[in-house]
Amino acid sequence: MYDILIKNGLIVDGSGKPAFYGDLAVKDGKIAKIAPSIQESADEVMDASGLQVAPGFIDNHSHSDSSVFTGSDSYNYLEQGVTTQVAGQCGSSPAPYSETELADAKAKLDPEEFACWAAKAQTPTTFMKAAEEQTFGTNMAFFIGQGSLREKALGYSDAAPTKEQMDIMQKDLIEAMEAGYLGVSSGLVYAPSVYASTEELIELVKVMKPYGGIYASHIRGEGDNVLRSVQEAIRIGEEGGAPVLISHLKVMGKHNEGTSQKLLKEIDDANARGTTVWADQYPYTASSAPLSSQIPPKYLVGGIPVLLERLKNPEIRQQILYSIFHEVNEFESAIYSAGFDGTLIVGASKTPEYVNKTIGQIAREEGKEPIDALCDVLLANDASMQGVYFNQCASDLLRIMAHPRVFLGSDWSDYPDSKVDYEQAGGGHPRGTASTVRRLELVRDFRLRTLEDSVKNLTYDTAQAMGIPEHGLLKEGWDANVCVFDYDRLHATADFAHPYRQSQGIHYVLVNGKLAVRDGKALGVRAGKVLKRK
């Protein structure tokens, strides 16, 4: 007697071998049997006639770290077939906290919440333990953020670390590797991660070598500076002895169209000479990041309160405007490549009337210069805002997507469990809802790779690259993470005006043997667990 039996599906097992028709049985959280026909009974039998049965998809770039404090249904991921998220990206992780973060949390949270947060976010070890005690809809794996390590050791200083400060960062990184993190991530456009030099990063990643830890990086520039930024990431891995994962690989700036050919050649050349390099990507031509992070980081030295003071000063506003558009070599703002009319506000909790409008639109409506509209909305929201930047070309997106060493990374996070309105206008990026479905759909329609290769890339290849053991295949004895979908009918309906619309074509999702999605709808089941580097 099995728990679940999936019958008559086309089994695409993640290995890349030809798909075949058969049945798949699940018992006690594991895949118990895969065979052309299974006759034994099961508590629940699902007919997958006309559907594909694959391993659950891996989102290699998520920001769902704070789910460790709250728990999460992860429904927006489950409903796109994702059964594993890899969080802690772009240089930022909750642990270890800095003195400033501790003081902020103490001021903001009630005493009980604060005590709970502080106990969990104190060190990589306490965070990993908290994650293992928490419940999630999907499995979770973690990187530790280099920005967080640096903030603890140096605060928001742009100085080079002293020997003692480097020791603190290295010790915390070793602790993270011992605790089962996959590696360290940097976010070299975000303060304080951005203040690290190439040499500092090499020195830091060196300590991961005995663990095989990965250096993941949101690189220093993704447009005019993208080639040298990819080269920097590869050099850090090469000299620091770490495999490299380039985060959300893209080419910003429509005038840079075609540069992806050079980037992929850099990646191929590095692999040919023995430095392991991968990348991840979300399948959209608009990026998204906090609006404050598009202000050149020299204006963020000292932290957000100091930035807010600077934004009030008309002369500094003009300097910021000049810097965004003329000091691109120093810092590449997404506003430079998107323009004010391509900069859409998607998160502004204190001024919701601005959500779903561009900075250019707000400026015209209020009779202001765009730079003043930008600074005023930042001030009105204490700089806590999210933007979307329309700044890339589809040709580069597809070329990057077709590369075998590029995985899927949504670069988004779990939605709150009180479900949002699927038809809500604005307020997000479709990548949080539909990244895997859109990737599969584009790969299918542009014939970038076969179904078997497409599934392998989204599952086993990603798990192998990240060092997650026994994961990403439909294999007897392995955890039953399964996605049943209709390949021909997969369709991402979410767009920038309706970023929450549900995708079509995902039928069932199993997480560790538990049915988590039925007929495309998440059931609120939290069967995920923490996956650690072997």
At how many degrees (to 10) do helices 359-366 and 370-380 cross? 100
Q: What is the DSSP letter of 384?
A: -
CB of 265 to Zn ion, least distance (A): 23
CB of 303 to Zn ion, least distance (A): 20
Between 386 and 502, name the residue whose CB sits nearer to Zn ion.
386
Between 4 and 300, name the residue whose CB sits nearer to Zn ion.
300
- What is d(CA 442, CA 462) in angstroms, rounded to the nearest whole number? 19
Between 90 and 184, name the residue whose CB sits nearer to Zn ion.
90
CB of 169 to Zn ion, least distance (A): 20
Between 61 and 439, name the residue whose CB sits nearer to Zn ion.
61
What are the φ/ψ torsions at residue 435 (nearest 5 degrees)? -60, -45
Closest C-alpha to 213, from 242, 246, 239: 242
Tell me which residue has tokens 């001030």: 379
CB of 285 to Zn ion, least distance (A): 16
Within 10 angstroms of residue 458's Cβ, the number of other Cβ atoms is 28
Between 185 and 323, name the residue whose CB sits nearer to Zn ion.
185
CB of 89 to Zn ion, least distance (A): 6
Which positions lie near Zn ion, rule CB under 5 A? 90, 218
CB of 218 to Zn ion, least distance (A): 3
Enclosing H/E stretch for 30: strand 30-35
Between 218 and 526, name the residue whose CB sits nearer to Zn ion.
218
Q: How many helices (H) and strands (E) does the chain have?
A: 19, 21
Q: Are 124 and 181 in contact (CB under 8 A)?
A: yes
CB of 429 to Zn ion, least distance (A): 12
Between 90 and 466, name the residue whose CB sits nearer to Zn ion.
90
CB of 85 to Zn ion, least distance (A): 15
Between 288 and 457, name the residue whose CB sits nearer to Zn ion.
288
CB of 62 to Zn ion, least distance (A): 11
Q: Which two tokens stand for residue 92?
A: 């930022």
CA distances from 388 to 82, 259, 340 (A): 23, 22, 11
CA distances from 305 to 280, 302, 374, 383 (A): 33, 8, 17, 9
Partners of 508 in beta bridges: 484
Amino acid at 82: V
Between 134 and 292, name the residue whose CB sits nearer to Zn ion.
292
Tallying the residues shown for the chain, one arrives at: 534
Between 218 and 317, name the residue whose CB sits nearer to Zn ion.
218
- What is d(CA 186, CA 192) in angstroms, rounded to the nearest whole number? 10
Q: Are strands 214-218 and 244-246 parallel, antiparallel or unpaired?
A: parallel
CB of 322 to Zn ion, least distance (A): 25
Q: Which two tokens stand for residue 447?
A: 């014939």
CA angle at 480 for the pair 476 and 483, rounded to the nearest 5°: 115
Between 75 and 389, name the residue whose CB sits nearer to Zn ion.
389
CB of 306 to Zn ion, least distance (A): 23
Amino acid at 6: I
- What is d(CA 251, CA 258) in angstroms, rounded to the nearest whole number? 8
CB of 209 to Zn ion, least distance (A): 25
Between 218 and 533, name the residue whose CB sits nearer to Zn ion.
218
CA distances from 66 to 72, 101, 155, 158, 188 (A): 9, 14, 21, 27, 21
Query: What sign does the dihedral 515-516-522-526 (CA atoms) show?
Result: positive
DSSP string, 402-437: TSTTEEE---B-PPPSSPPPTT--SSS-THHHHHHH
